[in-house]
Each structure stands twice: as C-alpha cells, then as structure tokens.
A and B are shown apart, each in its own frame.
Chain A
C-alpha cells in the first residue's frame, strides 16, 4: 500500500464493507496515517486517510438509531462521542510524540476499540443512572429453593441463547445497567466460574471478589432477578 499513489491509497481505504475483496484492514489504514503523523495539515491525503480511519472507529460503535424508530438512544450517543474523543486523543498524542499505546491498535484494531467502548459504556451508563432509578425496575420476586439450587447448576438467564444475535444484543444492553458488583458476578457465572472452590488453582467468584461464598451467592441471586426484569422490560 505504501508504494501506491496517494489517490489509489485513498480509494482502496475508502471501501467500508469487510465483505469486499478490496477491503483494507483498519490496522493498515492506521499504519498509513501514522506514517504521516508529522505531516502538515495541507497534506490532503493525510486528511482523507484520517477521516477514513475515524469512520472505521464509528462503525465499531452502537448506532444511536439502531432501534429503527428514529429515536436516538442517549446512552449510545454518549458512547459514540466518548470513544471517538478518546481515540482522537490517542492519535493527537501520537502526533506530538510517538505513542506506544497505539501500537496495540495497529495489531488488533477492533479489540482496541472494544477496550475504549467498554470504558465508555461504563461511564455512559453511570451518567444515565444519575437520572434514572434502577429500583424502578420491578425485580421478579424471591427465588424459590429450586431456583436457588439451579443458580449454580443450570442456566438462569438462558445463556445458551446468547448465540442468537438479537438475544445477545438485548442481554448486552441490559447487563451494562447492573451495578458493578452484580454485573461482575453474573458475568463470571456466564463464564462458568464457580461461586467457591477448595482447589487453589481454580478461580472462584468469592476469591476474585474477596467476599464469602454466601455473599457472592446473594449477589448472584440479586443479579439474576434484576437482569431477568431488565430483559423482560426490554421485550415490552
């Protein structure tokens, strides 16, 4: 790509669909932009490649209008702006002086954006939580003894359905609204990590959080109840 004329570089990089045989990996586009990191603003190719790179960032972010009903989701707008800003800051720091943190993006761009996205989601949801009341979500009542015992042996949230994109998106949208201590427990349950373990080389939820097994089980129950309510609310 480096040896191509500027106009051809830009043309190839503009292809947005990864299904196209001409699609240029974003890691390559980032490399090309960094080659020009000290170029002046009059470098038109520099400007075009920079814009293409930022478009690639935006395609990795929740679209505010993804509900399709022309109503922007405030949280998604916040995430989009935060991630773009953080990435732009990384790029600006690199222009000022070589920034090693961008090297990771040159190797695994999508994961780099996923990292920024995870932080932005946490921040955006916390901001939104100041204006909404999670207590307003009606939890589905206490668990029966049978349901409690099933918490550790079966799939309380139907994690198997996460293979379906629509369910997965609903789950991901819902889980970010759980407080940190509940979210971390339900995610560890999803990863198949036990509440407790007597074996020193086996990771457990209680050891990770530094809480007693009884406490993390309570967290688990509360997380399941709240998440089920959020998923039910999403469905309405």
Chain B
C-alpha cells in the first residue's frame, strides 16, 4: 500500500491489510505505526484472521436456510444498472427539461436517445453534465450510447420499403443539423 499522501480511510486500510501475505507480526506492527487511529480495528481483524481455522467444519441450520432464502429475495429485487437505459427511459417532459437545461434543441436529445451519436465525439464535460442530469454514472451513459442505433419512436411503418438502419454521426453533425451557432458549437465540442 502506498502510504504517502493518502488520507486514510478505515475500509481502505483494512482491505489493504487483508491482502498482506502475513497479516500479523511485522505487518501488523507496520500498520499500527502508520495508522494508530485504527489500532482497535486492526487488532480485532488480526485476531479474527488467526481464528479462521477454528471455523473449519461449520454447519448450517434450518433457520439459516430461511435467512438465505430471504437474502435471495432481496438480492433479486435489486435492479442491475445495466438493465436500465438512462436516456431511453426519458419521457417527453423530461426531454423538454433537458433541452431547457442545456439550452439546446430537443432534437439533439432525441438523437442521443436514439443512439445516433458517436459517443467518442462528445466531450467529457458534456457527458458528465448529461449523466448528472439523468442520474447515472458516466460510464453507463457511454455504454448505452455505444449500443446500436434504434429506430425513432413513432416512425411510420406503412412504407413498403424497408427502412434503412440509422447511421451514427458525430455530435458536431447533430449540433450543425440543429442549427447551433458556430461559437456555441465550438464550445460544446471542445468541452469548455
């Protein structure tokens, strides 16, 4: 563990100690010297590590099986973040709110929702602000944007000609098509 210039967090210190080859003796003394404020937790943890062999042959009761079943029920109630499309789930009102917040035409966010934008052409700062607005992590937003484009909602399907698969374009192109004035466009692309 690099002990320099780090404001120690108890969890991080204990996790690092957990990975020591020999979590006793000299390692323990070194951690006590570096992190005396965590002496209680370090010593308790070192004692519990030494007790590990005493738990060999542990058993599970019928009552434990009920606890396990309850834990499973709660576990699968958690919705994986990957199951939620951060932009796809936005309703028209929320799209309007985004448009107002960023002072950009609604069609920009429609293009983003339809994944017609090349994610790597969007500045980090814009992605960060957008992720914050829709309440998700940046990497999750990027993952979603990198998925294949989807057909626009409400597109008429009465044509006899199969619609062409939408192509992804750069963010600059989307902004140009939305008639954003050049100065503002440059700012949005550069991220300033």
Contacts and interface: CB of A to CB of B under 8 A. Distances in A.
A187 B43 contact: yes
B15 A104 contact: yes
A60 interface: yes
A41 interface: yes
A: contact size bracket = 35 or more
A175 B43 CA distance: 12
A172 B44 CA distance: 10
A38 B82 contact: yes
Nearest to B71: A88
Chain B interface, >50% SS class: helix
Interface string B93-117: 0000000000000000000000000
Given A50-B75, A104-B19, A111-B52, A172 B67 contact: no
B58 interface: yes
Interface in B20-41: 23-25, 28-30, 32-33, 36, 39-41
B179 to A, nearest CB: 38
A63 interface: yes
Nearest to A188: B43
Contacts, number: 144
B75 A122 contact: no
A96 B82 CA distance: 8
B54 interface: yes
Contact of A115 (B28, B39, B45, B61): B45
A54 B19 contact: no
Contact of A172 (B15, B47, B61, B76): B47
B33 A208 contact: yes
A92 to B, nearest CB: 5
Interface string A9-38: 000000011100000000000000000011
A112 interface: yes
A38 B78 CA distance: 9
B167 to A, nearest CB: 29
16 contacts: A38-B82, A50-B75, A51-B69, A61-B58, A63-B58, A88-B75, A110-B52, A115-B14, A118-B41, A118-B47, A165-B54, A180-B40, A188-B43, A203-B30, A203-B33, A208-B33
Interface of A: 16-18, 37-38, 40-41, 47, 50-51, 54-55, 58-61, 63, 65, 80-81, 84-85, 88, 91-92, 95-97, 101, 104, 107-108, 110-112, 114-115, 117-119, 121-122, 165, 168-169, 172, 175, 180, 183-184, 187-188, 191, 193, 203, 207-210
